[in-house]
Amino acid sequence: MKLSEAKTSADSSAASVSDRKAERRLAMIATAARLFARDGYADCEMESVASELGVAKGTLYLYFRSKEELFCACVDQGMRELQETVQQAAQGSIAPFDRISAAIRAYLLFFEQHPEQAELLIQERAFFHDRPKPTYFTYREASRERWRVVWAELLSGGSIRDGLTVDQILDFIGNLVYGTMFTNHFLGRSAGEQHALIMDIFYRGIWSDAQRHTGE
Amino acid sequence: MKLSEAKTSADSSAASVSDRKAERRLAMIATAARLFARDGYADCEMESVASELGVAKGTLYLYFRSKEELFCACVDQGMRELQETVQQAAQGSIAPFDRISAAIRAYLLFFEQHPEQAELLIQERAFFHDRPKPTYFTYREASRERWRVVWAELLSGGSIRDGLTVDQILDFIGNLVYGTMFTNHFLGRSAGEQHALIMDIFYRGIWSDAQRHTGE
Amino acid sequence: MKLSEAKTSADSSAASVSDRKAERRLAMIATAARLFARDGYADCEMESVASELGVAKGTLYLYFRSKEELFCACVDQGMRELQETVQQAAQGSIAPFDRISAAIRAYLLFFEQHPEQAELLIQERAFFHDRPKPTYFTYREASRERWRVVWAELLSGGSIRDGLTVDQILDFIGNLVYGTMFTNHFLGRSAGEQHALIMDIFYRGIWSDAQRHTGE
Amino acid sequence: MKLSEAKTSADSSAASVSDRKAERRLAMIATAARLFARDGYADCEMESVASELGVAKGTLYLYFRSKEELFCACVDQGMRELQETVQQAAQGSIAPFDRISAAIRAYLLFFEQHPEQAELLIQERAFFHDRPKPTYFTYREASRERWRVVWAELLSGGSIRDGLTVDQILDFIGNLVYGTMFTNHFLGRSAGEQHALIMDIFYRGIWSDAQRHTGE
DNA sequence: CATGAATGAGTTTTCATTCAT
DNA sequence: TATGAATGAAAACTCATTCAT
């Protein structure tokens, strides 16, 4: 359905003007994200986005001041959805380790189902690398605070080896899933059973008991 | 010293014409890599690269067919140097685990000392994302074969837990260092003691002995 | 008072619908003239004019077919007011020379008090210079006929030197005040006592009696 | 002759590279001035100027940073030529009044022969009216200093009526020729014998001897 | 009458690449 | 080989105008 064909009937009772505007904004963001990811920021013309939406170029500029702003809206929206997806997944469990596992699985699946978001993260850095920090890391740090509580609980509960701090663990797992996500994306790998493996090594390491003894 | 001033005197006895050309090529690549990383591929003009080198714009085209080719040469050169650095570091030890540790430390330090290479990897994907696979992964897979041997030895020697395959381990550690490297790069973190931590968790996991029992 | 708030109550008894329309037209012209002069024709947006008036953009198009027509209405209105101002000033005196003086003073004062009109004359020529003749000159020639009578009387009455024709005098004084007006406008000068000087030189020239003798 | 065909032969002995550049700059200015005047600043595309010159659009940008800079160069060049023309004309005579007459004639003839310069003055004000003062007035004030000397001599020599100051005279004649020039331009009038008339009235006024007596 | 969301034509400027010298 | 003047394709963004409500 073309954006231009949406909402032409008389449902104005429920949806206010600003609702409809927000709705169209989201539709624009969704389409733009797809095309930005497909063609790259530079090669994605505003004209293409508009025509894909079935509207005129000028209309895009009624919703976004510039191409850059549209792009940023795409990244922001993607990160918000990622965050929400991960949180929702985590809420399905109560046990800390289960929540962590669920969150990581959701994270990897999100990018598998929304590969355009991985591309947008790259595009953002490539084209706007004068910005202090990629949006991704802003969100990563925001979520860090929430997970800190969970890990602290595990640490104080004796589930974690002595000598590891919450920050070290958070960094490790954060870097691991970040690298895994991009590798999956570039090599076309799926998150499926990979997830169990990651958690396994993360929790138990690769060493055999014999080696644990020697290595200590 | 400007490139244009180099090698103007009579040392042609030792260095053949093609040597000199290769040398200038390398100088061009070094300068271009720095500028590509600093300004981004799009905003880095051939004119800037040329003037930084002290040569005319047209001269660059005597060494590289196009801006894209120059860029690719930068990425290739960077990956070659990475590979060499890592291999050299690994050769300093004999014990497999030591070699692995040394390689990972060298990897992280390389990108810390050559942050422009991290940028180039991003730029490559952002601007030439119609290519099947980032150069980085081509090199990663090439080196995989060398490390496979090392890990196979460890596995058959009983140093590694049952149930893990070489490929799983290679993927895990590959993703981990990849994610760590980019995070370090974006957040300005240093590889220093981080390295010991990574190896520690990688080898032994995060679980306490109590949890290991429960979690099994 | 916003235009949109004007005349909303029941005074339709006296003012007919077309009266009200004419009134709003004038308000639009006044506002537009100010903004056209302030920003220049190109940089003055219909949107600005509308919002300054407190109406929607589309409303302007109910009164003027196009931006160009609105602009022309501004120039026309300005020239009509100039004409009226000058004529009214002239009617205050009976003696021909006094009427002439009064008219010239009124002319210079008009543009001093309505500097936007000077700007509009420039804008008109700059943007619509395919037109045969600036509106200003149309009005100037129209008024010429009225003044021709006055001067003819002075000529036949012997007040004017032999050898000068009415047309020559009209051209001279017309050019003089035109040039004076624009110079005043651009350099921010006031018409004040300048007027007396202009008339003095115009009537008596600059030569001393001695020079008159020699120069003849 | 197309600009692109100029100077292709081997006269590089005399004309240095910078000479040729200056020459091309002038050719560009001449062509641009004509087209700016013909089409107006807004409607005159850089493409048109380039193609009229027989060069590519980009070449214009090697000589002028922007359309605006090209335009300013046209106005400046025009004013310089005006100044030179007027000065040269004045130098043909020795007697002050003759020099003044010659200068005014040259001024009016210059704009008659270069009507595009009159247009450029209008365009400049219309499009860049945020600038403090039109270029014309900058030049007018610069030349004022030179003429001040001439008039001071006439005043002290008794050729000028008592009660007139040099500044008053300079303003009067400046405004008069400015207004005359533009009127000529707009109405397509020629400066020819008009010049004699202007000087006549300027020097002797319009009053008859009888009126002089009465009016005093 | 009034509104304001939607339209889409139109132009400057940049910069990779070429090629005559 | 080296130069650098010349080329020209390409795209974001604005804003006058329209018209459904």
Q: Report pLDDT digits (tens) over D90-132.
A: 999 999 999 999 999 999 999 999 999 999 999 999 999 888 8
Residue B22 near residue B33, CB atoms below 8 Å: no
CB D165 within 8 A of CB C197: no
What's the rounded Cα separation, in Å, for the pair A210 and B160?
Answer: 9
Mean pLDDT (whole number) for D54-81: 96
The secondary structure element, H or E, covering residue D18 is helix D17-39
pLDDT score for A51:
95
Q: Which residues lie across from D160 on neighbouring strands? A: C207
d(CA B117, CA B132): 20
Question: For residue B152, what are its two tokens?
Answer: 């196979």
- Give distance CA B114 / C1' F16 (Å): 53
> Closest Cα of chain C to D199: distance in Å?
9
Q: Which of A1-10, A14-23, B130-139 has the highest mean pLDDT?
A: B130-139
* Distance, Å, A24 CA → E1 C1': 30
Q: CA–CA separation, A138 vs B186, rounded Å?
A: 11
Find the helix packing angle between A96-113 and A135-156, rounded to 10°. 160
d(CA C101, CA C90) in angstroms, rounded, equals: 8
Mutating which of B172, B198, B199 best tests the A interface, going by the most A Cβ atoms within 10 A? B172
Mean pLDDT along residues C112-122: 97
pLDDT band at A116 (very low <50, low <70, confident <90, very high): very high
- DSSP structural state of residue B94: -
Nucleotide nearest A17 (Cα, C1'): E5
Q: Would you give the DSSP letter of residue C65? A: S
Lowest mean pLDDT among A7-21, A52-66, C167-181, D18-32: A7-21
- The pLDDT tens digits of the residues spanning C5-19 come to 444 444 444 557 778
Residue D214: pLDDT band (50, 70, 90) is confident
**DSSP classification of residue C93:** -
How many CA atoms lie less than 13 Å away from B148 in the CB half-sphere?
10
- CA count, 13 A, side-chain hemisphere, A77: 19
Q: Output the distance from A45 CA to F11 C1' rounded to whole Å.
A: 7
Whole-number Å distance between alpha carbons of B192 and B190: 6
User: How far is the C-alpha of B149 from the C-alpha of B26, rounded, in Å?
Assistant: 33
Q: What's the pLDDT at C14?
A: 53
Half-sphere exposure of C195 (CA within 13 A, CB side): 17
For residues B137 and B128, what is the distance between their CA atoms, to the nearest angstrom? Answer: 14
Nearest residue of B to residue A208, measured between CA atoms: B161
Q: What is the mean pLDDT of residues B157-181?
A: 95
Angle formed by the axes of helices A115-127 and A17-39, to 10°?
Answer: 80
Please, which residues have CB within 8 angstroms of residue A59's CB and are 6 or more apart in sequence?
Answer: A50, A53
Considering only the C-alpha atoms of chain D, give the largest distance between any 2 of them, rounded to a whole number of Å: 75
Provide the residue type at A39 as one letter. D
Based on the number of CB atoms within 10 Å of its own CB, is C189 exposed (0-12), middle (13-18) or buried (19 or more)?
A: middle
B and A touching (3 or more beta-carbon pairs closer than 8 Å) = yes
CB A103 within 8 A of CB A170: no
Q: Are the C-beta atoms of residues D33 and D77 closer than 8 Å to each other? A: yes
Contact assessment for residue A39 and residue A88, using Cβ atoms and an 8 Å cutoff: no
Query: For residue C70, what pLDDT is reported?
Result: 97
**3-class DSSP assignment, residue C160:** strand
User: Which ranges constitute the DSSP H helices of chain A?
Assistant: 17-39, 46-53, 57-63, 67-90, 96-113, 115-127, 135-156, 166-187, 194-204, 209-215
- Specify the residue for token string 């001449």: D30
Residue A10, pLDDT score? 42
Q: What's the rounded Cα separation, in Å, for the pair C121 and C79?
A: 9
What is the pLDDT confidence band of residue A16, given thresholds at 50, 70 and 90?
confident
Per-residue pLDDT tens over the stretch B122-158: 999 999 988 888 999 999 999 999 999 999 999 999 9
Give the type of residue at A25. R
DSSP three-state, residue C38: helix
Please provide the DSSP assignment of A44-73 as one string. Answer: --HHHHHHHHTS-HHHHHHH-SSHHHHHHH
Q: Look at residue C74 and tell me whether its pLDDT is greater than 50.
A: yes
Least confident of A17-21, D125-129, D196-200: A17-21
Distance CA D169, CA D179 (A): 15
Tell me the C-alpha distance between D89 and D86, whole Å: 5
Cβ contact B111:B162 at 8 Å: no
Most confident of B182-196, C51-65, C201-215: C51-65
Judged by CB atoms closer than 8 Å, whether chains meet at D174 and C177 is answered as no
Give the closest residue to F11 (Cα–C1′): A45
In whole angstroms, what is the distance from residue C39 CA to residue A74 CA? 36
Closest by CA to D88, choosing from D73, D74, D107, is D107
Q: First vs last Cα of chain B: how many Å apart?
A: 63
As ranges, strand E nucleotides with an atom below 7 A of a protein CB are 1-21
Say which DSSP state C163 is in.
T
pLDDT at A44 (0 to 100): 96
Nearest residue, CA→C1' of F15: C45
A6 falls in which pLDDT band (50, 70, 90)?
very low
**In chain A, what are the domains?**
1-65 (1.10.10.60), 74-215 (1.10.357.10)
Give the residue on B whose Cα is nearest the Cα of A193. Answer: B168
Which residues 6+ apart lie within 8 Å of B33 measured at CB?
A: B74, B77, B78, B116, B117, B120
Name the minimum distance, in Å, from the CA of A24 to any CA of chain B. 28
Sign of CA dihedral B171, B175, B176, B178: positive
Average the pLDDT over D186-214 and give the result. Answer: 91
- Least Cα distance to C190 among C117, C121, C108 occurs for C108
Q: What is the mean pLDDT of residues A22-35?
A: 96
Residues D17-44 have a mean pLDDT of 93
| CA-based nearest residue in chain A for residue B141 | A187
The structure tokens 């493409």 sit at D47
The per-residue pLDDT for B3 is 52
Average pLDDT over residues B148-173: 94
Residues A86, A102 contacting (CB under 8 angstroms) = no
Cα–Cα dist D78/D67, whole Å:
17
User: In sequence order, what are the residues at sequence separation of 6 or more whose Cβ sits closer than 8 angstroms to the Cβ of residue A20?
Assistant: A7
Nearest to D160 by CA among D205, D117, D203: D203
Mean pLDDT of the region C167-176? 96
Is-contact B124 A125, C-beta < 8 A? no
Q: How far is C110 from chain D (nearest CA, A)?
A: 17
What pLDDT was estimated at residue B212? 87
Scan for tokens 């002319």, then name that residue. C107
Instruction: Quote the tokens at residue B174.
Output: 């590959």
Residue among A186, A201, A208 whose CB faces B134 most closely: A186
Contact list in D for residue C178 (CB cut-off 8 A) is: 179, 182-183
Q: What is the pLDDT of residues A179-201, one digit of tens each?
A: 999 999 999 999 888 899 999 99
The number of C-alpha atoms within 13 Å of C45 and in the hemisphere containing its C-beta is 5
In this complex, which of B97, B176, B186 lies closest to A179 when CB atoms are compared? Answer: B176
Is pLDDT at D14 greater than 60 in this prediction? no
Q: How far apart are the C-alpha atoms of C198 and B99, rounded to whole Å? A: 100
- What's the whole-number mean pLDDT along residues D176-196? 93
Res. B182: pLDDT tops 80: yes
CA to C1' distance (Å), from C45 to E14:
28
| Bridge partner residues of C207 (DSSP) | D160
Q: Give B108-165 as a DSSP string.
A: HHHHHH-HHHHHHHHHHHHH-TTSSS-HHHHHHHHHHHHHHHHHHHHHHTT-B-TT--
The Cβ-side half-sphere exposure at D143, using a 13 Å CA radius, reads 25
Mind listing the pLDDT tens digit for each residue in B93-118? 999 999 999 999 999 999 999 999 99
Find the DSSP H helices in C114-208: 115-127, 135-156, 166-187, 194-204
Chain centroid, CA A178 distance in Å: 10
> How many Å apart are CA D19 and CA D14, to the nearest integer?
9
Residue of chain B with shortest Cα separation from A214 = B159
Cα(first)–Cα(last) distance of chain A, in Å? 63
> Which of D193, D201, D202, D214 best probes binding to C when mutated, by most C CB atoms within 10 angstroms?
D201
Going by C-alpha positions, the residue among B156, B39, C65 that lies closest to residue A126 is B39
Give the pLDDT of residue A130: 81
Dig out the tokens for C90 from the structure. 């002239």
Task: Please determine, for residue A148, whether its predicted confidence score (pLDDT) is greater than 90.
Answer: yes
What pTM does this model have? 0.89
Identify the three-state secondary structure at position C15: coil
Average pLDDT, chain C: 90
Task: Tell me whether residue C62 is exposed, middle or buried, using C-beta atoms within 10 angstroms of its C-beta: 0 to 12, 13 to 18, 19 or more.
Answer: exposed
User: pLDDT band at residue D12, thresholds of 50, 70 and 90?
Assistant: very low
**pLDDT computed for residue D162 by the predictor:** 92
CA-wise closest residue to A199 among A215, A180, A212: A180
